[in-house]
């Protein structure tokens, strides 16, 4: 459908926005699938609601890709019904994201308590000889320079130590075989992993907030541009070209307004 120059620019920008949405959806799916494959062998992960949350994120990535496809197809074909559906779904997703952000902030203490229980469960499984758990815990403690869920003492009450003042070797500053059983406190990281996670999140909070805000603004722009295109397509579909014969034998084209039977405009 031919559009006026201004709306043609809007359609091009709208296509670009939906390409960005597609990339975001693919990224969310890739990260979610990686997490499922990487940590699916952890007993604590398999038995927790965290796995369900990641699965929902993967599904959300798929939905974003489908919605972006709807938007591109609707803008290309000039279909107001498809654009209207796109606008409604994108508005719902944006509202859900904002609501989830608010809920996450309000219940941040509950999220922290859940994270503490999850890490404690992982540590408990460490002493049961689960290879995937052992590898993951060792990597986390070495990467974040931490030891235990909240403190070093978190290990003392685990099935790994059975009440003894020992920790895994991955808690050691200078890691060596059985270094965690030597009782050398100066060679042990004295900060819990949960504290390190929180500090890490705070350091990256600005970046996370900026990305979230940018995505939200892009979604709002997508809604606005979709409404503009929807209205323009509806306006154009209200007219039809006919040929009229005038005196002198010449035919001229004229636009005649007809009753539109398509979807309602945005």
Q: pTM to 2 decimals?
A: 0.64
Residue listed under structure tokens 């390409």 = 19
Q: Where are the alpha helices (DSSP H) in 107-192?
A: 108-126, 131-144, 153-156
Q: What is the largest CA-CA distance in the chain?
A: 109
The predicted structure's pLDDT at residue 4: 67
Q: DSSP alpha helices (H): ranges in the chain?
A: 5-39, 43-46, 49-77, 80-106, 108-126, 131-144, 153-156, 193-203, 205-237
Residue boundaries of the structural domains of the chain: 5-109+208-245+252-257, 127-199
Q: How far apart are CA 52 and CA 58, in angstroms?
A: 10
Contact 72, 90 (CB under 8 A): no
CA 6 to chain centre: 33
Superfamily of domain 127-199 in the CATH hierarchy: Tetraspanin (1.10.1450.10)
What is the CA angle 212-216-218, rounded to 5? 115
Q: List the chain pLDDT tens, one digit each, 266 residues.
A: 556 667 788 888 999 999 999 998 898 888 888 877 766 655 555 555 667 777 888 888 898 899 999 999 988 888 888 999 999 999 998 888 788 777 767 776 776 777 777 777 777 777 666 677 788 788 888 888 888 888 888 888 777 877 788 888 989 988 888 888 877 888 898 888 888 877 777 776 667 777 778 888 888 999 999 988 888 887 776 655 444 455 555 554 544 544 444 454 44
């Amino acid at each position: 459908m031919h559009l006026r120059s201004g709306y043609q620019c809007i359609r091009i920008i709208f296509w670009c926005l939906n390409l960005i949405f597609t990339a975001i959806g693919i990224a969310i799916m890739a990260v979610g699938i990686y997490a499922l494959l990487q940590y699916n062998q952890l007993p604590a992960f398999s038995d927790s609601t965290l796995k369900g949350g990641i699965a929902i994120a993967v599904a959300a990535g798929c939905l974003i890709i489908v919605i972006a496809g709807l938007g591109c197809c609707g803008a290309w074909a000039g279909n107001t019904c498809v654009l209207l559906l796109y606008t409604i779904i994108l508005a719902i997703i944006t509202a859900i994201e904002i609501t989830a952000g608010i809920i996450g902030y309000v219940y941040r203490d509950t999220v922290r308590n859940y994270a503490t229980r999850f890490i404690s469960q992982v540590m408990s499984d460490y002493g049961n000889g689960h290879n995937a758990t052992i590898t993951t815990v060792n990597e986390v403690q070495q990467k974040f320079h931490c030891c235990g869920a909240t403190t070093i003492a978190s290990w003392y009450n685990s099935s790994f130590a059975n009440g003894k003042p020992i920790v895994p070797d991955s808690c050691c500053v200078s890691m060596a075989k059985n270094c965690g059983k030597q009782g050398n406190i100066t060679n042990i990281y004295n900060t819990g992993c949960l504290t390190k996670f929180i500090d890490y999140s705070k350091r990256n909070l600005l970046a996370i907030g900026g990305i979230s805000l940018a995505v939200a603004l892009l979604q709002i722009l997508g809604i606005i541009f979709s409404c503009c295109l929807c209205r323009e397509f509806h306006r154009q579909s209200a007219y039809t070209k006919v040929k009229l014969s005038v005196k002198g034998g010449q035919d001229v084209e004229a636009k005649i307004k007809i009753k539109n039977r398509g979807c309602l405009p945005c």
